[in-house]
Amino acid sequence: MGNGSLKILVTGADGQLGYDVCRGIGGEAIGVDVADFDITDRIAVHAYIEKLKPDAIIHCAAYTAVDKAESEQERCRAVNALGTRYLVEAAKKIDARFMYISTDYVFDGALDRPYEVTDTSNPLGVYGHTKFEGEEAVMGILKKYFIVRSSWVFGSNGGNFIKTMLRLGREHGSVSVVADQFGSPTYAQDLANLIAAVIRSDKYGIYHATNEGFCSWYNFACEIFLVAGMDVSVKPITTAEYATAAVRPTNSRLSKKSLTDAGFGLLPLWEDALRRFM
């Protein structure tokens, strides 16, 4: 893209990741959210993108209420699948590069090793299915694209697992947490810094990006209370004991091979990220 300033449009700028992506990119970022245009409205999307003519689009906006998605399938699909398709079509029209933020939920979690970018997608629930449909739109329409899959994201803006644990710990003094689902917590700020580097490159393709190291939700909760200096009893439970509307992948571990192969640095350990966040 040469030197000079870029115009980088960031969707979902009021969300947990979009907020930090705008800060990570700095002055070149143009953050938009629902108030600016509705991504489920094809005409509005095309009009906005053609008028702004960004050099690049980072698509962070998503319907992320995993359990609610099971009963709000059409709404979830409108945002994650159709909204993405409309943005992709508009990006192609103005020849902007495009980055789609995706998720570990495109996998079924049945493998007993970290997932490679080349592994077959097999989403379990509506959220994962619609995010995968978004990926398919990106890959089917564009040549200049990045797909960045992440997992277990936490940041300063919006709700997340850490904030929930701290609240429950204060209110009850004890929590029960699932101990048989494994993945990598990811600090939105660390992920945003990587996204800023990737979008300025021309190393197109699919990447997995999370903080380094793996843990269960139970391990994560224990570490949160340790760092917070809170005396909270954490009880490990199984997925079967914790009923949710959506089925979640047991194994959300993602391989970072594609990142290192492309010459991008790995993110710090999740424990380190947690301490900085706290």
Which residues are annotated as catalytic? 127
116: its two tokens: 């490679």
What's the Cα-to-Cα distance from 208 to each of 41, 184, 241, 264, rounded to whole Å? 29, 11, 30, 11
Give ∠ CA 102-11-204 in degrees, rounded to 5: 50
> Which residues lie across from 78 on neighbouring strands?
none
Q: Which residue has the tokens 């010459």?
A: 263
Backbone torsions φ then ψ of 183, nearest 5 degrees: -170, -160
Sequence-ordered strand ranges (E) for 28-69: 29-32, 56-59
Sequence-ordered strand ranges (E) for the chain: 8-11, 29-32, 56-59, 97-103, 145-150, 153-154, 174-178, 182-183, 186-187, 205-208, 215-216, 233-237
Specify the 3-state DSSP secondary structure of 119.
coil
Nearest one of 140, 109, 107 to 123, comparing CA atoms? 107
131 with 102: CB under 8 angstroms? yes
211 with 152: CB under 8 angstroms? no
